[in-house]
Structures are given as C-alpha cells and as structure tokens.
Amino acid sequence: MEIVDKTGTCNLDYNRVCKNGFCFDEVKKDFDWYYTGQVNIAHETIDRHANSWRKNKIALYWEGPDNEHEKYTFMELKTLTDKFANVLKMAGVKKGDRVFTYLPRIPELYISAISIAKVGAIFAPLFGGFRAEAVRDRMNDSGAKVVITTPEMKKIGIEEIQSEVPSLEKIILADVPESYKFNDNELSFDAEMTYAPEECNMEWCSLEDPVIMHYTSGTTGKSKGVVHVHNAMIGHYITTKWVQDLRDDDVYWCTADPGWVTGTSYGIFGPWLTGASQVVCSGRFSPDAWYSAIDKYKVTVWYTAPTALRMLMKAGDEVIKNYSLRSLRYITSVGEPLNPEVIRWGMKVYGHPIHENYWMTETGSNMIANFYGLPLKIGSMGKPFPGIEAAVVDDSGKVLPPGVPGNLVIKPGWPSMMRSIWNNPEKYREYFRIPGWYVTGDSAFVDNDGYFWFTGRVDDVIKTSGERVGPFEVESALLEHPAVAEAGVIGKPDPLYGNIIKAFISLKSGYEGSEELKREISGFVKTKLAAHAFPREIEFKAGLPKTRSGKIMRRVLKAQELGQPLGDLATLDDE
Ligand code: ATP
Ligand code: MG
C-alpha cells in the first residue's frame, strides 16, 4: 500500500475540534450568531470580516477572460452586497423567494450570492453553459422569481423560454452594453447600484431557513433541486478549514463553477467563512491559463477536479517547466474518483500529493476526506471527517466486513445535510431507504485501517462471471497504461459471462488506436487486476461524454452501446 505521510504539516486542532465528533458544536463558537442569536450566512461570510481586522484584506482576486483583473476587500464586498441586497428588495424579492443567477464567473455572481442571502432569499446558481431548456426546467421546478444574468446569456438561455416560466417577475442584467434596450421587466445591475442606499437591514433567519438551492450534476439521471439551510455554514466552514487546510495567510483557488455545489460550498461560502483570500478565474481552461494564474496570484491552496488534473497530465510535463508553481502548498480534488496514477504524477510535477475528498450536492460539504494529519493512502477517499459517521452496508442495513463493497451510507444529522429536494418529498425519502442511514447511491468498501475506497455508483457496478467489479478500479488500471488518457467502463450484457466489461478509451496524443493496442491494453489490465476484471471489449473514442462539471457519463456510454434512449442530457457537455 502506498502511503504518503503528511502528519504534522497541517493545522487541524484535534483537541479543540475533533474529539469524538464534538467538532460541529465546538466550531459554532467561531460564528457571531452563537453570541448574538442573529443568523445569516451572509453576515458570517462577509460582514463579520468587514467588521474585524480583516476589513482591508483582499477577499476576491478576479481574473477575467481577457487579462482584466479586479480585487475586492471584505469591506468593499460588504458595501456592494448591502447595496445589491437593497436592489433585490426593490425588485420585490422577499424571504424564501428563489433568485437564480445565470452568469459567467464575474464579480456580480459573487456579489449576488451574498446579497440574495442577505435578504433571506434562496440563491439558486445555474451553470452558465446551460441551454434554454435546462434553464427553463430548473426555473419552473423551483418557481424562480428573479434571475440575474447578462444580455448575452439572456439571449442564449432565457429569451426563448421566458414566456414558459410564469413565476419569473424580473430580470436583472449585468454587463450591459450601452446600446441595449431594456424591457419592462428588466433592471440594470449597474444603474440600480448607483442609486441603491448603502445601509441595508440584514434579514435575520433561523438556522433552518433555506438559503441555497443546487441542482445536482445529472450524471445518473435528471437533476434534483437540493435545498440547503443557513446551518450548512458550519459544515462549509469546518471542512474548508480542515479538509482544504485553509489558513489566514493562504491564497485559495477553487476551480469549480458555482453552478455546481463545489463552486458554492468551496468557491464562495467556505473560504470566506474562514476569512481567506480567494481567486476566481473566469476564462476557459487551458494548462497555460491555469498555471499562470497560480503563479500570478501565488496560489497556495488549490481545489480542483480529477477531470482537470487528467487534462493537465495529458498536456504533458513540458508546459509545467514554463511556470514556477512554487507557491502551491496543498492540493485537493473532488467530483470523481482520483486515479492513483494522477496522484503519483502530481507528486512528481507539483511536489505535493493531491488530497482527494468525497461528498455530493446533497451532503453540502466534504464527508470523507484525506484531511489533515491523516496519512494519505493513494487511491482511497480517506476517512470520514471527524463528526461524520459513515459505513458500508448491504441493502438491509447490515454493516459489511472490511474489503466487501456495498452501499456507502452516512448517519443523518450533520449540519450541512440537505433539508429537502424541492417539490419532491418522495425523492427525498428515497435517500433514507435503508433505515437509520442516508444512502449516497455510491458503492465503496472500508479497509482494515478504516479508510474508504470508492468502487463506483451503485448502478454502475458490473456483475461479470458472477463477480462484482467496480468500474473505477478498471478505469484506474487502464490509466496506468502509457497510451491511455481517459477511460470509461461499462457492463455489457453477455450470454456467457452475464456481463462483460467494455472500456471506452481516449488516447494520449501520439498514439494511434489499433487492434494490437486493444489487445495490449486488455492484457495489461488483466495482469493488474483479477483475471475476470479486464475489458473484453475496447473502443477508442476521441473524447468521452461528460457532464458540464466534468464527470464521465457512463450511462450515456451504456445507452449508446445498447441502442437505448439516452435519457436526460441537459447537463451533457456537448463541446
Ligand atoms: P446526479 O446526482 O444528478 O446523478 P452527481 O451525483 O454526479 O449527479 P454531484 O452531487 O455533483 O452530482 O456529485 C456527487 C457524486 O460525485 C458522488 O455521489 C460520487 O459518485 C461522485 N464523487 C464525488 N467525489 C468523489 C470522490 N472523491 N471519489 C469518487 N466519487 C466521487
Ligand atoms: Mg448524485
């Protein structure tokens, strides 16, 4: 077993925070509401720091797509969000209303998030890459009252469906060109801000009032509208501090878009709850753009995703030589399983291991992680964060012995757990189908040391020759072959084996797909895993179908393979 022991390099204060799950209660004392009884996540995220020694600290470094850049202190963000909260009030927004953002990663998105919370409304961020239908479905599902967008994006995603969203009362437009003609139901972000009063009465809420609504990635089917409450701040805060290991002198960069939960919990609220400076880059992904951002802002803590890391790895080590990257201190990853090969590569080129963590939209914050002090086992998701109780159980709820894969479940009651699925209590109840547990829908096993290992989505587990094979272990073995850049593995029905393993592979540049290479790769995996756990069929593809948040959509590969309907493709990245 490969273990990277980083014990002692991080700042988790075990005694104070993590004694026997005592942690969540203990960190409540870091929030103002603990003393005042006045609750609002926006206050704790921005205003608390603006009233403290951090007031002139940079909260946001913003890097635009064409080398524009701006920066904002906590004090400046307090003023801007107070003003915009007043604009929202004037636009008729009331406590509990759903306010959507449909924006690129411009400062207005971050200002909106905080301001929406300030008026007690529900912040519902939509990924900027959605097309009209996906926008319409989500707005209708939740009865959106206001949307904040730009004229450009309005044209792509809102214009044609606007009449089909009867609840939508106002559109607030940012980044408006001078020639733009406003419709009756439209307001200008900038113009309203010029006149808005600076004094704002914060809407004090209860810890259980909803404040964020996130639609899931749609990897396994139709997205669900997951509702989070102000109390989630406890989870955001504690895990940003001790899973992301964020300290006051860090410059932090979470590469996720707030259209996905990582971009909100760890790209807006978490880091600011800890008072850290964060970087937002709104341009497109490219190895050069990303590495120069790290150097330019001297990023110390970097939270990204396996798909990005695989692309950086695919781009080769040459490009890295043009950058220093010396500021990096801690790297974390989420969203999909992180293949061991990528971690080994990361240690080679960045000089640091990549700390994988596991969670989902519904859990609101990191659940299982390679957090501080924990010797990192390469390929494992780590251990449950202190205060989180996780287990692997069979369908009846019986805890399975080490090494046996089954349902990954979590004991309900952690602070950032979703409180409902919007408008869909039935769906919500399904998460609790195994009595006493929250059911993640993922399959994992625990090893003898209590580390959790991801094997796949429960629905993706392949039964072949009477054995259960998780797609992830096959994909990771495939990635160790020098020709393989990305791999997606499915079970394909077969009269002899029940199912055979079929692998879809995109090759690194410089490799040509051939029958011989297929045989070689297949044999390569056979020597790595069990004799039954190798792909009997391989198909080369230029790229694999992915969600817009970068997850491989195995259900699409499978449906294509079997000639079945492709299902809900709203979140498919068609570029
Ligand atoms: P949908 O629920 O709409 O099908 P989704 O499950 O992909 O989409 P998210 O909530 O964005 O939506 O993703 C959570 C899922 O991502 C987890 O259930 C898990 O399958 C996967 N995941 C996240 N982190 C990890 C990780 N470290 N290792 C393995 N899988 C992970
Ligand atoms: Mg899910």
3-state secondary structure 83-135: HHHHHHHHCCCCCCCEEEEECCCCHHHHHHHHHHHHCCCEEEEECCCCCHHHH
Percent of the chain at pLDDT > 90 equals 77
41 domain residue, yes or no: no
Mean pLDDT of the chain: 92
| Cα atoms in the Cβ-side hemisphere of radius 13 Å centred on 74 | 24
Burial of 539 (0-12, 13-18, 19+ CB in 10 A): middle
pLDDT 10s digits, 266-286 = 999 999 999 999 999 998 899
Ligand having the closest approach to the CA of 470: 1
φ/ψ of 573, rounded to 5, equals -85, 105
- Look at 10-19, 292-301, 349-358, 482-491 and tell me which has the smallest mean pLDDT: 10-19
pTM of the model: 0.91
Q: What is each CA distance from 300 to 39, 217, 252, in whole angstroms? A: 31, 28, 6
pLDDT at 17: 58
Is 217 touching ligand 1 by the criterion CB < 6 Å? Answer: yes
Q: Which atom of ligand 1 is nearest to the CA of 221?
A: 4
Determine the distance separating the centroid of ligand 1 and the alpha carbon of 360, expressed in angstroms. Answer: 5
Asked if 429 and 492 sit in the same domain, the reply is no
How many domains are there within the chain? 3
- Look at 128-137, 223-232, 344-353, 429-438 and tell me which has the smallest mean pLDDT: 128-137
Q: Which atom of ligand 1 is nearest to the CA of 261?
A: 11
Asked if 385 and 433 sit in the same domain, the reply is yes
- Look at 70-79, 326-335, 463-472, 560-569 and tell me which has the smallest mean pLDDT: 463-472
Q: Largest Cα–Cα distance of the chain, in whole Å?
A: 73
Asked if 309 and 281 sit in the same domain, the reply is yes
Determine the distance separating the centroid of ligand 1 and the alpha carbon of 288, expressed in angstroms. Answer: 28
pLDDT 10s digits, 95-125 = 999 999 999 999 999 999 999 999 999 999 9
Nearest CA to ligand 1 atom 30: 336
Asked if 511 and 555 sit in the same domain, the reply is yes
Is 339 touching ligand 1 by the criterion CB < 6 Å? Answer: no
What is the average per-residue pLDDT within 536-556? Answer: 92
- Look at 184-193, 529-538, 545-554 and tell me which has the smallest mean pLDDT: 529-538
Asked if 224 and 288 sit in the same domain, the reply is no
Ligand having the closest approach to the CA of 216: 1
The neighbouring-strand residues paired with 62 are: 70, 280
Query: What's the domain range around 532?
Result: 461-562
pLDDT at 6: 44
Determine the distance separating the centroid of ligand 2 and the alpha carbon of 419, expressed in angstroms. Answer: 15
Block residue for tokens 């020597």: 527
Q: Which of 201, 230, 204 is nearest to 81 (CA)?
A: 201
399 domain residue, yes or no: yes
Which of these three, 173, 196, 230, is where a domain ends? 230
User: What CATH number is associated with residue 471?
Assistant: 3.30.300.30
Ligand having the closest approach to the CA of 365: 1
Residue 354 CA to residue 347 CA, distance in Å, equals: 8
pLDDT at 16: 57
Is 381 touching ligand 1 by the criterion CB < 6 Å? Answer: yes
- Look at 314-323, 331-340, 464-473 and tell me which has the smallest mean pLDDT: 464-473
Nearest CA to ligand 1 atom 11: 217
Handedness of CA 28, 31, 36, 41 (dihedral sign): negative
pLDDT band at 390 (very low <50, low <70, confident <90, very high): very high
Contacts with 497 (C-beta within 8 Å, 6 or more apart), sequence order: 464, 465, 532, 536
Is the pLDDT score of 66 beyond 80?
Answer: yes
Asked if 445 and 405 sit in the same domain, the reply is yes
Determine the distance separating the centroid of ligand 2 and the alpha carbon of 41, expressed in angstroms. Answer: 25
Asked if 14 and 110 sit in the same domain, the reply is no
pLDDT at 332: 97
Ligand having the closest approach to the CA of 224: 1
- Look at 12-16, 489-493, 499-503 and tell me which has the smallest mean pLDDT: 12-16
Asked if 123 and 185 sit in the same domain, the reply is yes
Is 148 touching ligand 1 by the criterion CB < 6 Å? Answer: no
Determine the distance separating the centroid of ligand 1 and the alpha carbon of 571, expressed in angstroms. Answer: 14
Nearest CA to ligand 1 atom 1: 218
55 domain residue, yes or no: no
Could you tell which of 137, 215, 216 is best to mutate to test the pocket of ligand 1, judged by most ligand atoms within 8 Å of the CB?
A: 216
The ipTM of this complex is 0.99
The b-or-e profile of 216-248 (16+ CB within 10 A means b, else e) is bbbbbeebbbbbbbbbbbbbbbbbbbbbbbbbe
Asked if 292 and 434 sit in the same domain, the reply is yes
What is the average per-residue pLDDT within 400-419? Answer: 96
Residue 3 CA to residue 53 CA, distance in Å, equals: 40
Which of these three, 230, 254, 278, is where a domain ends? 230
Q: What is each CA distance from 551 to 43, 132, 216, in whole angstroms? A: 34, 21, 12
One-letter amino acid for residue 317 of the chain: D
136 domain residue, yes or no: yes
Nearest CA to ligand 1 atom 13: 360
Handedness of CA 50, 56, 61, 62 (dihedral sign): positive
- Look at 55-59, 147-151, 471-475 and tell me which has the smallest mean pLDDT: 471-475
Most confident of 139-148, 458-467, 547-556: 139-148
Residue 32 CA to residue 396 CA, distance in Å, equals: 43
57 domain residue, yes or no: no
Instruction: Compute CA 73 distance to the chain's CA centroid, rounded to the nearest angstrom.
Output: 25
Q: Is 475 helix (H, G, I), strand (E, B) or coil?
A: helix
Is the pLDDT score of 49 beyond 70?
Answer: yes
Determine the distance separating the centroid of ligand 2 and the alpha carbon of 362, expressed in angstroms. Answer: 8
Is 337 touching ligand 1 by the criterion CB < 6 Å? Answer: yes
Asked if 208 and 319 sit in the same domain, the reply is no
pLDDT band at 8 (very low <50, low <70, confident <90, very high): very low
What is the average per-residue pLDDT within 158-162? Answer: 95
Residue 472 CA to residue 457 CA, distance in Å, equals: 9
Q: What is each CA distance from 282 to 237, 254, 531, in whole angstroms? A: 24, 12, 46
Asked if 214 and 154 sit in the same domain, the reply is yes
User: What CATH number is associated with residue 359?
Assistant: 3.40.50.12780
Which of these three, 230, 252, 268, is where a domain ends? 230
Is 557 touching ligand 1 by the criterion CB < 6 Å? Answer: no
pLDDT at 19: 52
Asked if 435 and 318 sit in the same domain, the reply is yes
The neighbouring-strand residues paired with 506 are: 486
